[in-house]
Amino acid sequence: MMESQSGDAVEPTVLLVGTFDTKAVELASIRAAIERLDGSVITLDASVGGRSVEGAADIPADVVARAAGLTLAELGALERGTAVSAMQKGVEAKTLDLFERGQAHGVLCAAGAGAHLVAPAFQRLPLGVPKLIVTPLASGARVFEPFVGIRDVAIMHSVADIAGVNAVTEKIYAQAAGYIVGAVRAMAGVEGESPNGKPTVAVSMNGNTTAGVTEVRERMTELEFVAFHANGAGGRAMESLVAEGEFSAVLDYTTTELCGHEVGGLMDPGPDRMEGAGKAGLPQVLVPGCLDLITCGRPEEAEREFPGRVYYPHNPELTLVRLTADEMFRLGEVFARKANAARGPTAICVPMGGFSAPDRKGGLFWDPEADGAFVDALQAKLTGNVQLHLVDAHINEPSFVDVVVDSLRAMIARHTTAVAREGGVVNVNR
């Protein structure tokens, strides 16, 4: 049993989203499967065709269209791409509304192309709300991004099309019902606080910086670290959860995604990376981890896009490309601008012995002049409220970790003092 906002006990309820104009039979079968497991269901019709099937869904297409400011007739008259965008907004509005009222506890979508329409709404729901998409599109060369974004979405490959109730699809529908009912039940008892009461700190990491980050974690046992993979999606997820207040500090050890945005390659986190903690006034330590490189695809792709560079094969699919002194000067300016804008205590620790695994004395990317250009820009642009530590060690060396650990403790202490002075409450339990 779950508590609604009014305090009444309610059954775990699944919001089932699909296109009832073409898949009413299939969605009815899924609804029945959920109900056989004693789950409650609310259905929502995301059809864009502009007709509402009477009684097919609890939230019919015309109500969804109206949430996007359109009548069903207006929706039906739109060109398909525009209609999809409009309905997407309607599905999002109705979905968020249901969750804010506590009337649904998990979401399930079974669809073909409709999965693309529904996924953005699911991605708006908080972490920990079960979100399952069942679709034949989850296969082959299709990519995860449009389905999961930066959220804990689960996607199940339906093998066959969502068409009919037969010996194959029955197994798909029954599994989907079991997955979502099981997850909704399981989450009813989860609080989402730090399980051990320690302050929770976000940390950015990748294969190149794992050694250093692991050493930080082992030394700072007073904190609980949540690690995000610095691959574009990971950094965006971290920024998003920082903005939602999930963390009490940020250790941005692997800021290479800034290069992905400023220079290129596969790991662009968008323009807002390394800004969330500063905006939220959280204590933070910034490290130029892998800021000497961008990550590209196969060797031939890397050479086509960035000719005449030094390349480092990370694995057969990913090639690291060394950045130049000019690029690193520019990154230093960006780094300084973002650090200067921070409202909370901020320190930058720079490992002068190299920013990544190949960037070390004797390594393929070792280029003190280029790394020095980054430092020059920092020193030219940083304002007084940001601490800068230039450390004569490699990013994964214990003597560099020493400085990071001290800085993070100092920034957290400074933040605690500042909050106490302002009469605020220090939230050490998140």
Going by their DSSP bridges, the two strands 249-252 and 284-286 should be labelled as: parallel
36-75: contacts with its own copies (CB under 8 A): 36-37
Closer residue to its own copies in complex, CB, 27/132: 132
* Tokens matching residue 82: 């525009």
Residues 214-243 as x/- pattern, contact with its own copies by CB under 8 A: ---x------xxxxxx-xxxx--x---x--
Minimum distance from CB of 181 to its own copies (Å)?
Answer: 5
Is residue 25 close enough to count as binding its own copies by CB under 8 A?
A: no
358-417: contacts with its own copies (CB under 8 A): none
Closer residue to its own copies in complex, CB, 50/265: 265
Closer residue to its own copies in complex, CB, 72/177: 177
Minimum distance from CB of 131 to its own copies (Å)?
Answer: 9
Closer residue to its own copies in complex, CB, 74/246: 246
236-275: contacts with its own copies (CB under 8 A): 237, 241, 246, 266-267
Minimum distance from CB of 314 to its own copies (Å)?
Answer: 12
* Tokens matching residue 108: 């399930």
Whether the Cβ atoms of residue 376 and residue 187 lie closer than 8 Å to each other: no
- The CA distance from 415 to 430, in Å, is 15
- The CA distance from 266 to 60, in Å, is 40
Whether the Cβ atoms of residue 293 and residue 367 lie closer than 8 Å to each other: no
Q: Which of 113, 89, 111, 100 is nearest to 43 (CA)?
A: 111
* Tokens matching residue 138: 């989850």
CB atoms within 10 A of CB 326: 10
**Residues in CB range of 123: below 8 A, 6 or more apart:** 131, 148, 149, 150, 151, 153
Indicate left, alpha or beta for 231 from its phi (over 0: left) and psi (-120 to 50: alpha): alpha
Minimum distance from CB of 177 to its own copies (Å)?
Answer: 6
Q: How many residues sit in the footprint of its own copies (CB under 8 A)?
A: 78
Minimum distance from CB of 143 to its own copies (Å)?
Answer: 5
Minimum distance from CB of 30 to its own copies (Å)?
Answer: 11
183-212: contacts with its own copies (CB under 8 A): 183-187, 189-190, 192-196, 200, 205
Minimum distance from CB of 384 to its own copies (Å)?
Answer: 34
Amino acid identity for residue 127 in this structure? L
Residues 88-107 as x/- pattern, contact with its own copies by CB under 8 A: --------------------
Residues 144-173 as x/- pattern, contact with its own copies by CB under 8 A: xx--x-xxxxxxxxxxxx-xxxxxxxxxx-
Q: Which of 370, 368, 390, 363 is nearest to 379 (CA)?
A: 390
